Amino acid sequence: MSTTIKEAGTTTMDPLPSTYSTSTVAKAITQTVQFIISSTTSTPKPPSSSHSIASTASLTTMPTTAAATTAATTAELASAATTAATTTATAAIGTEKLSVSDLSTALQHFGIVDYIVFIAMLVVCAVIGFYFGFIEKKQKKEKGQVPTDEKDGDGAGAAGNEERRGSEALDYLVGGRKMKVFPVALSLVASFVSGISLLGTSTEIYVYGTQYAFILITLAISGLISWYIFLPVFCNLQLTSSYEYFERRFSRRMRLFGASLFVLKAIIWLPIAVYVPALTFNQVSGIGVHTITPIVIIICTFYTTVGGIKGVVWTDVVQSAIMYGSLIVIMVKGTMDLGGIDVVWQRNSDGGRLNTPEWTLDPTVRLSVFSVFVGGTFFKLQNTSINQATIQRFMSLPSLKEIKHTLFIFSIGLTLLYMGCVYVGLVCYATYYDCDPMSTGLAGRRDQLVPLLVMRVLGVVPGLPGLFVSAVFSAALSSLSTLLNSLAAVIMEDFVKPRMKNKPMTERTVALTMRLVVVVFGISSIFMVYVVEHLGMVLQLSATLQSSLYGPMLGIFTVGMLMPWVGEKSMFFSSIISFSIMAWIAVNAQIANVTGTFRHTKLPVSVEHCDYEFDVNRYLNSTAEYEPHSGTSIYHMSFLLYTMTGAALNIILSNLATFVFGRQDVNSVDIELLAPFLQRRFRKNKEYDAVPMKQRPFVEVEQSH
């Protein structure tokens, strides 16, 4: 059964293969190289007379076939393609208008300079991984700096816990706990802003307005909560896998439960992260999604496998610089083309895009004040406080002081990057305010809006489309490499090592196991891309998936650190129930989204001044009034409320379960597992209880009566 994605260029995908052999990957690489060569060396075919474009100097004719358009990437035709995208209806009088498919293929002028920029980014990432995987390790061996297991134990951490990991795992997963603040902060920014966020946030602003931008305020709130409650506990315990906390606070089965949910989330999320930039690459170059996907994943898997956390962090630094640079270029050039910030602001104001969250408590309202500020705080909290990838980055730093500095820089950097994405969304709407490309079919999917804008704004400057594609892939690669490295940590620490207590693993076995995990999960994500491409809007899908899994997880950590009277049985029971409920809600929500039985109201768009031919019925269908098939259900709630709902369910149910399973003696809980303010309270109470009654202050004795 073949699948067809209606993207720019109308790219038709091959049938889903039952196996994905080495020859398939080699064929994909060969096709890409051949495409680059043909698109940069072939001479353009004679123009067709069926579709012509009026320019100010002469009448330039564009080819009608996809093959001719693909080959025509000289500077003259690239300029003509850009002219075609911006020519007004008045200038086109007397000529036949382009169709959507012809204009779409005309915008695909990804030249040799763009390919060089994109390939250079991939090469730099691979070189960084190679350096930390081979050169640096060789230098350490020559200088005798490779630590032994005994040395690892000496650097265990503030709590005085003995480091239970071998030197290979310590270096590969947390960089020997000697990483620097600024690189780790940039790494966190790069890994948080995936390709999904980079494109999805701008698309969100275009479709629904600036309501989502107010979630940036919750970054500060969630950062403060992390600062005072969660991060000090993790730093004191010096954990590589955050789920080891579950075993110390509750039980072994709780640890396996948390780790299993993380692995499940990773399996589903990895292909989502790589699918979005593949769409972008297809939009600007015409190369198929399933051609570029295996190439990029293999390169990412390579530098993550050999470089470990150091390779991941330093490639993230390079990738974050590319992301910032790309956003700045798009914002400046896009604003200049429109005539200034005033024009951008006015068009968005007239189009209703400068809106605020709705003042309502209705949970089905997509972005209300409650869902944005309360639900958004929980949503960001699970990212900054309990996420395995985040904790692993923080644990690569020497002390809590460096962790807090990193959190501060990370919050500022993330806010600035998201603000850039929001502004790009405003520029996108100001550009297409009178000719919506989604309604006409020029953008086959919402996720192709920003790439379409890039080719219109930056397409005339060689190398800038390549810079943008590099930025999107940088965001995806950083998220992929981060998650793959975290998977290695979780599989090793939570599943493999506990089963090998009686027979300690050698350094070589540890190294091979961690790298095998990265390779297996990296390659498996190639196959999952076929599934993801049918699952609706990726930003909402990603947020829904992550929240439904991490909501109950946030509840476990919250109960563990703030409610010492809740025991293991109560916690395990409530976790199973809350996860099941959230999974049911998430699955039904996605089914409703895909089948169209429930849709959120989108802001109005216009096709009044489109200067190319398109299917009017498509526009009428996209603007038709929505008639719900059934009444409002719980799975119609805002996607920002998923984390809060899951956490609240787990907290409430675990406390109710104590009436069945009994309350745990708070004195039996290790105070190092509690939040800092509770630690101080318990220590003070223990010191007070240790003082004989006669020696206690008079006021306190009087109060006791």
The Cα–Cα gap between 244 and 255 comes to 6
pLDDT tens by residue, 509-521: 888 999 999 999 9
Q: What is the pLDDT of residue 191?
A: 82
Whole-prediction pTM value? Answer: 0.78
DSSP 432: S
CB 375, CB 640: distance < 8 Å: yes
CB 362, CB 217: distance < 8 Å: no
DSSP 277: H
Could you give the maximum distance between any two Cα atoms of the chain, in Å? 105
The angle subtended at Cα 133 by Cα 130 and Cα 138, nearest 5°, is 110
pLDDT tens by residue, 4-41: 333 333 333 333 333 344 444 445 544 554 544 444 44
Residue 4 forms beta bridges with which residues? 12
Q: What is the mean pLDDT of residues 56-82?
A: 37
pLDDT at 94 exceeding the cut of 60: no
Q: What is the pLDDT of residue 193?
A: 82
Instruction: Map 450-510 to HEC letters.
Output: HHHHHHHHCCCCCCHHHHHHHHHHHHHHHHHHHHHHHHHHHHHHHHHHHHHCCCCCCHHHH
Decide: residue 261, CB within 10 A, 0-12 exposed, 13-18 middle, 19+ buried.
buried
Q: What is the pLDDT of residue 611?
A: 86
Q: What is the pLDDT of residue 690?
A: 54
**Residue 257 corresponds to which amino acid?**
F
Name every residue whose Cβ is closer than 8 Å to that of residue 15 and which is 6 or more positions away in sequence: 1, 2
Q: What is the mean pLDDT of residues 127-142?
A: 86
The dihedrals phi and psi of 364, each to the nearest 5 degrees, come to -85, -10
DSSP 64: -
- Token pair 């956390």 is found at 309
Q: What is the pLDDT of residue 13?
A: 36
Name every residue whose Cβ is closer than 8 Å to that of residue 532 and which is 6 or more positions away in sequence: 271, 272, 275, 538
- Token pair 């990212």 is found at 383
696 Ramachandran zone, left/alpha/beta (phi>0; psi -120 to 50)? beta
Reduced to 3 states, what is the DSSP secondary structure of residue 59?
strand
Query: Which of these, 396, 363, 613, lies nearest to 486 by C-alpha position?
Result: 396
Q: What is the pLDDT of residue 553?
A: 93
Query: Which of these, 13, 553, 529, 446, lies nearest to 268 by C-alpha position?
Result: 529
Q: Hey, what are 54's tokens?
A: 């009026």
The angle subtended at Cα 280 by Cα 367 and Cα 550, nearest 5°, is 40
The Cα–Cα gap between 297 and 292 comes to 9
Helices (H), ranges, 215-372: 217-225, 231-237, 244-249, 252-285, 289-338, 341-350, 369
Give the CB-side neighbour count of residue 468, counting CA atoms within 13 A.
32
Q: Hey, what are 517's tokens?
A: 């995990």
The Cα–Cα gap between 270 and 272 comes to 5
**Residue 383 corresponds to which amino acid?**
N
Mean pLDDT of the chain: 78
Q: What is the mean pLDDT of residues 559-581?
A: 94
pLDDT band at 116 (very low <50, low <70, confident <90, very high): very high
Q: Which residue has the higher pLDDT, 500 or 151?
A: 500
Reduced to 3 states, what is the DSSP secondary structure of residue 368?
strand
pLDDT at 447 exceeding the cut of 70: yes
Q: What is the pLDDT of residue 499?
A: 86
CB 7, CB 276: distance < 8 Å: no
pLDDT band at 674 (very low <50, low <70, confident <90, very high): very high
Q: What is the pLDDT of residue 154?
A: 37
Q: Which residue has the higher pLDDT, 527 or 336?
A: 336
Q: Which residue has the higher pLDDT, 472 or 548?
A: 472
pLDDT at 629 exceeding the cut of 60: no
Q: What is the pLDDT of residue 596?
A: 67
pLDDT band at 620 (very low <50, low <70, confident <90, very high): low
pLDDT band at 588 (very low <50, low <70, confident <90, very high): confident
Q: How far, rounded to the nearest angstrom, does the alpha carbon of residue 457 sit from its chain's CA centroid? A: 25
pLDDT at 252 exceeding the cut of 90: yes
pLDDT tens by residue, 220-246: 999 999 999 999 999 999 888 999 999
**Residue 530 corresponds to which amino acid?**
Y
Q: Which residue has the higher pLDDT, 6 or 120?
A: 120
Cβ density class 232-247: b for 16+ within 10 Å, e for less: bbbbbbbbbbbbbbbb
Q: How far, rounded to the nearest angstrom, does the alpha carbon of residue 236 sit from its chain's CA centroid? A: 28
Query: Which of these, 682, 185, 591, 570, lies nearest to 416 by C-alpha position?
Result: 185
Q: What is the pLDDT of residue 211?
A: 94
pLDDT band at 128 (very low <50, low <70, confident <90, very high): very high
Query: Which of these, 133, 387, 364, lies nearest to 258 by C-alpha position?
Result: 387
DSSP 627: -
Lowest mean pLDDT among 22-31, 154-163, 368-377, 525-534: 154-163
